[in-house]
């Protein structure tokens, strides 16, 4: 358990660097900011991502007190890790946080947690306890989150299953709070905002895409799929485009290992639309409009069940088994024939489709950030029961 507060405000530094971390930390920043007498909260961006990160902080209106601006084209894990640890030192010396909060499983999360530990700050891990127990898959995320878990003082686990994973690793029960996943807080916030006023990026998409037809939404970026995995995925998408009466919409991740094969193999297919990574607001709009989603993304696996969209996951393992058990997510790996077969089956077998397209929320109820704030304010657990 955290030590009882001796003085307020508690200083909390949120550190993040990639698109998904920003989406899931933005609502936490907004929530913690509501308690200025008790919590002084600041954001440090590593900018492991640049454009894809900026899209998110612009939409949620998150001010960055610190920005390490580290992204380099085609960066490697070794340099990035070293640069984050080194870059965090002066930030930690300047802000002198009581707590550093990191999110999930990226290299930013792992390296920032280590830097915080070196500087004597307590570490809070948001989205703690997800595991595949296979250190090569997802690579390097499984190891990043295990290391972050060893360092963390307080673990905000999204589900009971993630809590149990931590208990199996001998993390003390009193250091774990089950909160639900902040991704659902972000999704609810985002859906509210786009309902209030149509974003410019949505208006542009409507002009650009034939949205009157069924849409299959695709995303992909996992390192373990680079090379043969991506070639196989692209061949599968080409075959699906030939046989399905649908439009495939694919916002292509900016990683050059993804851009290369995807643009080379799929540019000239008339019902495949390769578009830029979308701002969060138009991506959630697209998810809502789509018939089904094919992805290897972690965050999309969590959002889609909340929107009642079936998901085919192009991975062999997942650290998010809850939606698989509930039957709205199927793991299909990167085998070309399997992706084609499962997609076409799902498009044309209405009964099967209806069974999968069921609205449910295994990952949260939209109050995860409130529970984290309450824990900081009172030192008592206000837990999520799924």
Q: Residue 141: CB partners within 8 Å, gap ≥ 6?
A: 104, 105, 106, 298, 319
Nearer to ligand UDP, 165 or 278 (CB): 278
247 catalytic, yes or no?
no
Residue from 14, 23, 83, 236 binding ligand UDP (CB under 6 A): 23
Q: Are the C-beta atoms of residues 277 and 205 closer than 8 Å to each other? A: no
Whole-angstrom distance, CA of residue 154 vs CA of residue 177: 8
212 catalytic, yes or no?
no
Which neighbouring-strand residues pair with 248?
216, 272
DSSP 224-287: GGTTHHHHHHHHHHHHHHHHSSSEEEEEPPS-HHHHHHHHHHHTT-TTEEEEPPPPHHHHHHHH
357 binds, among ligand UD1, ligand UDP, none (CB under 5 to 8 A by kind): none
Q: Are the C-beta atoms of residues 172 and 155 closer than 8 Å to each other? A: no
Residues near ligand UD1 (CB under 6 A) are 18-20, 48-53, 71-75, 77, 105-107, 140-141, 221, 254-256
Choosing from 221, 291, 320, 371, the catalytic residue is 221
Does 97 help bind ligand UDP (rule: CB under 6 A)? no
Choosing from 35, 50, 223, 360, the catalytic residue is 223
* Positions in 216-255 near ligand UDP (CB under 6 A): 219, 221, 251
User: Least CB distance from residue 202 to ligand UDP, whole Å?
Assistant: 12
Q: What is the sign of the dihedral through the CA atoms of 124, 322, 170 and 106?
A: negative
253 catalytic, yes or no?
yes
38 catalytic, yes or no?
no
* Positions in 263-292 near ligand UDP (CB under 6 A): 277-278, 280, 283-284
Which neighbouring-strand residues pair with 39?
10
Does 5 help bind ligand UDP (rule: CB under 6 A)? no
Whole-angstrom distance, CA of residue 100 vs CA of residue 116: 6
Does 315 help bind ligand UDP (rule: CB under 6 A)? no
84 alpha carbon, distance to own chain's centre: 20
49 catalytic, yes or no?
no
Residue from 17, 20, 140, 321 binding ligand UDP (CB under 6 A): 20
* Contact set with ligand UDP (CB under 6 A): 19-20, 23, 219, 221, 251, 277-278, 280, 283-284, 297-300, 303
Catalytic residues: 105, 127, 141, 221, 223, 253
């Amino acid at each position: 358990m955290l030590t009882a507060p001796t003085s307020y405000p508690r200083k909390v530094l949120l550190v993040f660097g990639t698109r998904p971390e920003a989406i899931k930390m933005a609502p936490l920043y907004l929530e913690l900011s509501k308690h200025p007498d008790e919590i002084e909260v600041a954001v440090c961006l590593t900018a492991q991502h640049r454009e894809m990160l900026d899209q998110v902080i612009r939409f949620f209106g998150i001010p960055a007190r610190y920005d390490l601006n580290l992204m380099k084209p085609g960066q490697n894990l070794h340099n990035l890790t070293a640069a984050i640890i080194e870059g965090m030192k002066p930030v930690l010396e300047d802000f002198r946080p009581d707590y550093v909060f990191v999110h999930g499983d990226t290299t930013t999360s792992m390296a920032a947690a280590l830097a915080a530990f070196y500087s004597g700050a307590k570490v809070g891990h948001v989205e703690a306890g997800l595991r595949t127990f296979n250190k090569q898959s997802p690579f390097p995320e499984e190891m990043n989150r295990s290391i972050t878990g060893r360092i963390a003082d307080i673990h905000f686990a999204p589900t009971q299953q993630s809590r149990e994973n931590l208990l199996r690793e001998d993390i003390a029960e009193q250091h774990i709070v089950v909160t639900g996943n902040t991704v659902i807080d972000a999704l609810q916030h985002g859906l509210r905002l786009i309902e209030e006023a149509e974003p410019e990026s949505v208006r542009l998409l409507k002009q650009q895409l034939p949205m009157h037809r069924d849409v299959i939404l695709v995303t992909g970026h996992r390192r373990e799929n680079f090379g043969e995995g991506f070639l196989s995925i692209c061949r599968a998408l080409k075959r699906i485009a030939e046989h399905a009466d649908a439009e495939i919409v694919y916002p292509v991740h900016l990683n050059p290992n993804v851009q290369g094969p995807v643009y080379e193999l799929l540019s000239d297919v008339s019902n495949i639309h390769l578009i830029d990574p979308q701002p969060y607001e138009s991506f959630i709009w697209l998810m809502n409009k789509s018939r089904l989603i094919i992805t290897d993304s972690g965050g999309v696996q969590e959002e889609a069940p909340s929107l009642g969209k079936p998901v085919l996951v192009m991975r062999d393992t997942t650290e998010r088994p809850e939606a698989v058990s509930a039957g709205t997510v199927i793991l299909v790996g990167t085998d070309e024939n399997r992706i084609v077969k499962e997609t076409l089956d799902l498009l044309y077998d209405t009964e099967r489709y209806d069974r999968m397209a069921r609205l449910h929320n295994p990952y949260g109820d939209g109050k995860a950030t409130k529970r984290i704030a309450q824990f900081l304010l009172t030192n008592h657990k206000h837990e999520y029961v799924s």
